[in-house]
Chain A
Amino acid sequence: MNAVQQRGSLTQVELAGVTGLSPATVSNIVKELTGAGVLHTAPTSRSGRRAQQVTLARNLGLVAGVHFGTRSLRVALADVAHRIVAEQRMPLPPDHRADAGLDRAALLLTEMVESLEASMSEVLAVGVGVPAPVDVRTGQVSTLGMLRGWDGVAVPEVLEHRIGVPVHVDNDANLGALAEVRLGAARGHENVLYLRVSHGVGGGLVIGGRLYHGRSGTAGEIGHVTIDENGPICRCGNRGCLETFVGAPVLLGMLQASHGSLTLPDVIARAHDGDPGCRRVISDAGRHLGFAAANVCNLFDPDLVVVGGRLAQAGALLLEPLRTMLEQRTVPSTAGPVEVVASELGAAAEVRGALAVALDRVGIAASMVATG
């Protein structure tokens, strides 16, 4: 059941592989649950063979995912089979505050649910991603100064009060990592490093198939790995953090004198068109990322490095220098250098991760009681 829930839909044979049960047992369980109205099966074919596609039945309710980026808000609604039924993105002002931002998210979510002709009571859980370290046990933003106006805000409390639905919050890069492992480029891998390179730089670590949070949620904060001990002061208060070299304000600042005011998508578009200045800025960012990622790889030796976030849209311009640097700076292994791939879910990775967290926490048993 959990296996179906996590992957949205899969065939009975795949289900047997994932759960480690024998195909006959899986077939029996699926038959039983289909009879109970929890699962839905449809004939399909995999590599030429007949197979049974297994999904969760639709009437079990909805879950919502909310992703606060530094400059945008994304809300998605999905059924319990992880099929997205509505999605909306909204640009946000710089330095948006927690109260106004959460208000907007709550309003947007309510309107989206209404537009589906559903009611808020059908929403079983909400997953929220914020671009700062979060202590997942208390739901509090656990660092100071990383996200102005959000310090110490207990997101679940504030949001639950507004929408009356259980809320689970995590760092956005962690959610991106989870989504890539469950649904994206890192499917089938147990140990993955995910880099989210957008306005800020974040990271998520998946170890043994599970997100690693650490003591207070700051695990994987690769944006604040020191790469130059005499470097500029970072918003976190340290010096020479990775983010002071590859954060969007820094990249755009470097181009200010020669190119004027640009946005991150502008830089990527121009780099693709061959603008040498923009290409240089992106390739340097790739090298800096490789430098920091190499340290992480030396400590954790992941199966795969996935690069997501806005800047990942630059593709090989960013990834090639990153790979080269990573290769040079990691311990040579007989298995060869670690593979680096671009995110498969792109800008939607974080919100998909938020949906996944919401789904995980729903607990199908509880929802079965609720829907009778």
Chain B
Amino acid sequence: MNAPVLSLRGVSKSYGAVRALVGVDLDVHAHEVVAVVGDNGAGKSTLAGVVSGALLPDTGHVERDGRPVHLVNPAVARAHGIAAVFQDLALCENLDVVENIFLGQEVTQGPLLDEVAMEKHAWELLNQLAARVPSVRAPVGALSGGQRQAVAIARSLLGDPRVVVLDEPTASLGITQTAEVLNLIERLRERGHGVVLISHSMADVQAVADRIVVLRLGRVNGDFDAASTSYEDLIAAVTGVTPSGRSGRAVRADEASR
């Protein structure tokens, strides 16, 4: 398999005496959905922060295409082709879909906004995701949870990032909207993006992920091949019943031999 587009090497992060991440290694390839699961306080959100440039690791570093990069803030991360969608989505309720997608990155023609170009591009992005949004001129406040998620993901795709980080995209969504978001994630993967999916819903993660990385108390507690791992093995790794997943070791040995 090709080299990973994004790697974390020995990343640690502490908040005072709390060690949120301890020596975490993570690889994300293009065209791959890597899920990060874990209990509350396992370090999932901290990991999302480090990958997206919102947090700086205390030790260790992030590599893009094998070269170490210094992600001092989310804008730098974006410039390196890493986009993130956080749980709160950061959408403006009163603005319409196009305005939200291009907020802060407006397309201009001379002194004026190029509304036509932006609207066309917004439809392109949403169609790529096969997202069902009634109108790009509808205010975001009028959309359902799944549609908002689609708008937030479409915005992250502006500038064609290599890696998209999704932090709890299905939390607080109904089942229809969850289905829409899972379909979106499959579309992202099909389009060749690397996806880091952070979630605590095992069923959602197992439905779309290629690999599942389990975090427990800030450490990686197993790296599983999603297609051949049972729900029980994952729960065991999340709760720490086994020190490291059975199939987890097998997968890593397999990767080492490649």
Q: Of the candidates A91, A100, A104, which one forms a contact with B183 in the assembled complex, judged by CB atoms under 8 Å apart?
A: A91
A164 at the binding interface (Cβ < 8 Å): no
30 A-B pairs (CB sep. < 8 Å): A71-B207, A73-B179, A89-B183, A90-B178, A90-B182, A90-B183, A90-B207, A91-B183, A91-B186, A91-B207, A93-B202, A93-B205, A93-B206, A93-B207, A93-B231, A94-B206, A95-B231, A96-B203, A100-B203, A104-B203, A107-B175, A108-B175, A108-B176, A111-B174, A111-B175, A115-B176, A261-B1, A261-B227, A265-B190, A266-B190
Give the residues in chain B near A90, CB-CB below 8 Å: 175, 178-179, 182-183, 207
> Are A92 and B176 in contact, with the CB atoms below 8 A?
no
Q: Which 7 pairs from chain A and chain B are nearest by CB?
A: A93-B206, A90-B179, A260-B1, A91-B207, A107-B175, A111-B176, A91-B182
- A44 CB to nearest chain B CB (Å): 30
Give the residues in chain A near B210, CB-CB below 8 Å: 261
Interface extent on B, as a size class? 20 to 34
Give the residues in chain A near B1, CB-CB below 8 Å: 260-261
Most buried by A among B32, B174, B175, B227: B175
A4 at the binding interface (Cβ < 8 Å): no
Q: In chain B, what residue has the closest Cβ to A95?
A: B230
Q: Among residues 109 to 123 in chain A, which have CB atoms less than 8 Å away from a CB atom of chain B?
A: 111-112, 115
B77 at the binding interface (Cβ < 8 Å): no
> Are A91 and B176 in contact, with the CB atoms below 8 A?
no
A88 at the binding interface (Cβ < 8 Å): yes
Say whether chain A's binding surface is mostly helix, strand, loop, or mixed: mixed
User: What sequence of 0s and 1s flags, for each residue 189-213 of chain B, a beta carbon within 8 Å of any chain A beta carbon?
Assistant: 0100000000000110111101000
Give the residues in chain B near A96, CB-CB below 8 Å: 203
Q: Among residues 232 to 263 in chain A, which have CB atoms less than 8 Å away from a CB atom of chain B?
A: 249, 260-261
User: What sequence of 0s and 1s flags, for each residue 14-40 of chain B, a beta carbon within 8 Å of any chain A beta carbon?
Assistant: 000000000000000001100000000
Contacts known (A108-B179, A111-B175, A115-B176); A91 close to B208, Cβ less than 8 A: yes
- The CA-CA distance from A45 to B218 in the complex, in Å, is 69
Q: In chain A, what residue has the closest Cβ to B29?
A: A260
B226 at the binding interface (Cβ < 8 Å): yes
Give the residues in chain A near B202, CB-CB below 8 Å: 93
Give the residues in chain A near B230, CB-CB below 8 Å: 95
- The CA-CA distance from A89 to B207 in the complex, in Å, is 12
- The CA-CA distance from A92 to B206 in the complex, in Å, is 7
> Are A88 and B226 in contact, with the CB atoms below 8 A?
no
- The CA-CA distance from A261 to B33 in the complex, in Å, is 11
Give the residues in chain B near A269, CB-CB below 8 Å: 190
Q: Of the candidates A94, A107, A108, A111, which one forms a contact with B226 in the assembled complex, judged by CB atoms under 8 Å apart?
A: A94
- A261 CB to nearest chain B CB (Å): 6
- The CA-CA distance from A95 to B226 in the complex, in Å, is 11
- B128 CB to nearest chain A CB (Å): 15
- The CA-CA distance from A266 to B228 in the complex, in Å, is 18
- The CA-CA distance from A107 to B174 in the complex, in Å, is 9
Give the residues in chain A near B180, CB-CB below 8 Å: 88
